Homo-oligomer: A and B are copies of this chain.
């Protein structure tokens, strides 16, 4: 395993440990819901967003325990969005990370509530004193998170995605859809390191630019995997976009140009990090990993 790959695995392990603590089960009858939350939040995954949080926080020498709490909160939000997206009324997916989705494993009511509870718990973790000693920083973490995942962010992107079925979207429209649906939370994952580290504006803007490019590259590769991958390797249903009549980067650009575009974005993303010198190498390797992944 390359150094980067083992860093990614080690970071996933560290985040899982924190998630395990933050989603602890007691003996109350309602704690059955926590099983569903844990099933979805601790069900594997590459943990790209937590890696972005921890790596960006290291640029500013943020205490690892603080960064890991924010990383866990970001992963909770990501998992809540997957649970709700997979519901029958939404994308109706049975498979996620190679396992039955939450509403298949449990039931629909439990899946809805597990998503709601993960979102709520994420905000509770962000605002907890252990996340940062300065309440102003904790307020910023909550405020920027809410902006990234509300109507002007992730949920808005999901609305656009539902509207996109059997509709001809242009490249600018798909780019905007994906920026809202996945790009804003990826952007938050990078910027929260700067928030935790009270970094100057230039550093924050550099991370924002990096996240923008990485997020788009990530999505283009998702579209490529939907066309080229098989469900077993990818861990979720493939060939779904074509079946749903959804325009994607690949359907509009073709496989070859889409692949070239993703490569270009990864290079461009890395270039934004110049001011951090070699300290940002993990983020550069992550950008490369994102476009080369097979799942």
A residues apposed to B, CB below 8 Å: 28-34, 37, 80, 84, 87, 89-90, 107-110, 112-113, 115-117, 119-121, 123-124, 127-128, 135-136, 138-139, 142-143, 146-147, 149-151, 155-160, 162-163, 180
Contact = CB atoms under 8 A, between A and B. Distances in A.
Contacts of A30: 151, 156-157, 159-160, 180
A143 to B, nearest CB: 5
Contact of A120 (B89, B124, B149): B149
B113 A159 contact: yes
Nearest to A153: B120
Contacts of A120: 119, 146, 149-150, 155
B116 A84 contact: yes
Contacts of A151: 30-31, 33-34, 37, 117, 121
B117 A116 contact: no
A123 B123 contact: yes
B29 A163 contact: yes
Contacts of A143: 124, 127-128
A36 to B, nearest CB: 9
A123 B139 CA distance: 10
Interface of A is mostly: helix
A159 B32 contact: yes
Contacts of A31: 151
* Residue with the highest number of chain B CB atoms closer than 10 Å, among A107, A109, A138: A109
Given A155-B33, A156-B28, A162 B127 contact: no
Contact of A119 (B29, B119, B138): B119
A22 B117 CA distance: 23
Contact of A87 (B112, B119, B128): B112
Contact of A107 (B89, B121, B157): B89
Given A29-B163, A127-B139, A150 B109 contact: no
B139 A112 contact: no
Given A84-B112, A89-B107, A112-B89, A146 B158 contact: no
Contacts of A155: 33, 113, 116-117, 120
Nearest to A34: B151
28 contacts: A28-B156, A30-B156, A30-B157, A30-B159, A32-B163, A33-B155, A33-B159, A37-B151, A84-B112, A84-B116, A89-B107, A89-B109, A90-B109, A90-B112, A113-B155, A113-B159, A117-B155, A119-B119, A120-B146, A120-B149, A121-B151, A124-B146, A124-B150, A127-B127, A127-B139, A138-B139, A139-B139, A142-B142
Contacts of A109: 89-90, 162
